[in-house]
């Protein structure tokens, strides 16, 4: 994880700070790593760090914790409940904050997953989730200060890592995660506004010229390269497979259909989103070809 610290203290609601402080404290006691994920991470990165309004605000808090076993995960969540920091729900990964209405989803990753980076939730093990990309997200995360008093600093994924997680999560739970596709489109459309302009013009002028100085297309290709750089071979193979399939008309453009669901100008939006997905895939494959 990067030691870069971004200070957004004072911009997060006190109830959310309290929830994250509880997780931070118990994770430190257990010696486990954790990272913000999901739409909550999206809001932190775009809304609070870069001042880019998110397409929809979320009240939920999504957290990944690195644990070695279900027993360790159970011990950690049991402490949160026993200390009356969180209350359980009927779902094993979902909790509510005692102090308010916050919904907190906690998912485990790390050694708990099998060689395919899959976990299956006990007791029935009928709910299977892919944890691909979580380790890369943590290793490339920024430490974001969300409160100075009390001191709460949490790891937040980089934008490329967030995009990576969105791609895998959408595919893993299709057709139940259309919001992941919509979040991915939001990331593609806004990466160029999130502080990478100097990098584009200083070190990627050839790519800019190839895209006729279209900053949007060039920034998405750069995002693809950034995703490929942080991905291990297993994660790269999965993402490459997903994007190749979802940009091929013979496979029905399922991701694109989810991306533009609810938009009024479907034809224009579809073509634009398809172009961006293809540029993302192009960037990923360009970077991988240099390795």
The per-residue pLDDT for range 210-220, each reduced to its tens digit, is 999 999 999 99
Q: Is the pLDDT of residue 264 over 60?
A: no
Residues forming a β-bridge with 142:
156
Of 4-13, 30-39, 145-154, 246-255, the one with minimum mean pLDDT is 4-13
pLDDT of residue 288: 77
* Confidence band for 262, pLDDT divided at 50, 70 and 90: confident
DSSP collapsed to 3 states, 241-273: HHHHHHCCHHHCCHHHHHHCCCCCCHHHHHHHH
CA nearest neighbour of 162 among 47, 29, 25: 47
pLDDT of residue 291: 53
d(CA 186, CA 180): 10
Buried b (16+ CB within 10 A) or exposed e, 229-251: bbbeeebbebbbebbeebbeeee
Paired sense of beta strands 61-66 and 103-109, if any: parallel
Q: Is the pLDDT of residue 270 over 70?
A: yes
> Cα dist. 242→51, 73, 171, 191 in Å?
30, 30, 7, 20
Answer yes or no: are the C-beta atoms of 135 and 109 closer than 8 Å. yes
Sign of the torsion formed by the C-alpha atoms of 171, 173, 179 and 183? negative
Global pTM? 0.95
* Confidence band for 290, pLDDT divided at 50, 70 and 90: low
Q: Is the pLDDT of residue 130 over 60?
A: yes
The terminus-to-terminus CA distance of the chain in angstroms comes to 22
Q: Which two tokens stand for residue 54?
A: 């998110």
Give the chain's mean pLDDT: 93
H-run or E-run covering 130? strand 128-130
- Structural domains of the chain sorted by starting position, each given as residue range(s) with its CATH number in brackets: 5-157 (3.30.460), 164-289 (no CATH)
pLDDT of residue 79: 97
Report the percentage of the chain scoring pLDDT > 70.
95
Say which residue, 191 or 97, is predicted with more confidence. Answer: 191
Helices (H), 124-214: 134-139, 159-173, 178-190, 197-203, 205-210
Virtual torsion, Cα 45, 49, 53, 58, nearest 10 deg: 50
pLDDT of residue 190: 97
Sheet with 142-148, edge to edge strand ranges: 5-7, 142-148, 151-156
């Amino acid at each position: 994880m990067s030691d870069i610290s971004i200070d957004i203290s004072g911009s997060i609601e006190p109830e959310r700070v309290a929830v994250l402080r509880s997780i931070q404290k118990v994770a430190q006691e257990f010696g486990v790593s954790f990272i913000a994920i999901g739409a909550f991470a999206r809001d932190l990165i775009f809304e609070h760090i870069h001042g880019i309004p998110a397409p929809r605000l979320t009240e939920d808090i999504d957290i990944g914790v690195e644990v070695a076993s279900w027993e360790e995960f159970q011990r950690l969540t049991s402490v949160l409940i026993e200390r009356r920091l969180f209350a359980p729900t009927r779902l094993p990964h979902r909790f509510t904050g005692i102090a308010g209405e916050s919904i907190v989803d906690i998912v485990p990753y790390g050694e708990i997953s099998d060689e395919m980076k899959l976990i299956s939730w006990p007791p029935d093990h009928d709910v299977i989730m892919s944890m691909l990309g979580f380790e890369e997200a943590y290793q490339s995360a920024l430490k974001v200060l969300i409160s100075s008093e009390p001191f709460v600093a949490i790891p937040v994924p980089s934008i490329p890592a967030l995009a990576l997680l969105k791609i895998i999560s959408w595919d893993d739970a299709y057709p139940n995660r259309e919001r992941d596709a919509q979040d991915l489109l939001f990331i593609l459309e806004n990466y160029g506004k999130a502080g990478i302009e100097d990098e584009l013009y200083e070190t990627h002028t050839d790519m800019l010229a190839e895209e006729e100085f279209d900053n949007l297309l060039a920034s998405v290709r750069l995002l693809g390269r950034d995703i490929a750089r942080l991905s291990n071979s297993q994660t790269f193979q999965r993402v490459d497979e997903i994007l190749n399939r979802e940009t091929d008309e013979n496979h029905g453009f399922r991701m694109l259909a989810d991306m533009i669901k609810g938009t009024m100008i479907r034809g224009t939006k579809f073509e634009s989103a398809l172009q961006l997905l293809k540029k993302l895939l192009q960037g990923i494959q360009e970077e991988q070809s240099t390795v």
